[in-house]
A and B are shown apart, each in its own frame.
Chain A
């Protein structure tokens, strides 16, 4: 009889246990690397066995199975080396006595010595409780490649002291990378990032953690409207706002307000809170025309003020601000802002796309068409490339054919055999 897949709700509960069990193993003195491997095996076992035989105490079950795996692994090692490896059972000095399991593990996984791709993979496995297979699928690489990436990452952090407070800024950046890595696969990484960020806000009072969670929620709320039925990108100004997730927006605003409430004259909001505030202003407009651009520009002013040399240190913020400048002070002013980035971003598709948008805003359609075409040539994502080509075509073709000449492809779509097209 084939194994039943686990109910998604149960799977979530199972994955929620992973960081707690892993932390308890590490605190007990187990090596992080070995414990994480053992727990991954226990997790795979649970996914297989639990649908038929749900355990009475899931956490104890996971701990027991992982411990058994650890003992097996240690025996194997001992047999191979032919001598006792006492180092394995040497308890480490206790890590943080207090503090949350999730935070402790995030600091391990987001160790500054690791490359971002490794931080992301390790976080998804050790904190997110995803299987290697799921992480590999999410990033479209072979499972063996992802397994190797994770074990190399663990070798890098092995022996590093894990009892010092880690770098929260790195953790936030890693979670944002997870969020940005995309959606639509079997594992929705955006949802996963939101889940992890929510856990993080329970573990630390740091307002930037809540700023990040708010930013994710406020952007994610618009996701249902970002693509049309044909999978085409729909830009913010043309989205059907009725499809935005109002529940997510409400939560995002609430989380953001609680973060902003902690600001003082000496403690100004950080970048995630600022970006969340901008997202909230977009979400708050009932139509694109009602967008409060002056207030958005104020927030962008704060954002670019976070770095001493924003053009070089934070060019994407300067570029996004140029759009707000265009709306508040006019297209020409926005284009002047974008021009400041020519040296830094002049070969990136986004720079051309923003210029195109500003030309369109200023009703210079030929310039907009050229800039959209330049952007399309530099795009690194098929959906964006197609979108930019459509925009270029839209700018060039206004009234050209006026829809009067019917497409020869006909109503049956591209395979109806009309207009000289073959069928297959």
Chain B
């Protein structure tokens, strides 16, 4: 199957005298490198500028809250089961009286950890989630000095209650509404 029309058929023939000199080929190569000196560099000067990413980019996860600021997650464990990299662990707990404003249902995740070094950002966890709780966002993980720094707990994953701390996932959510 021909994918591009740039492929060249290899012919093993004697080189001509001019080709054996190699000088024309060398000058040709030098012309190419000289031309490249005036091309725009492909470099993105991170962190001053960041690369533009897709609107449905799969970056660091967020654990969503509902409109009243209650956590959606019920610690059912479907995300952990679906995770091909086995990056997600959690511990479930029962909601006590007086915690109704914190958790939407009777069961919630007391501990929820994603190992970002294991995660392959495939997005299967958000596909598996029946409670609209976990989504991938367009944020990327920061660099750390230790491996333990890459294990993200609830403190980093759950979005804030205040409206300005909410993470917008409408673009990714739309993706699932179509399918």
Q: Do the two chains bind? A: no
Residues of B within 8 A of A (CB): none
Chain A residues engaging chain B, CB cutoff 8 angstroms:
none
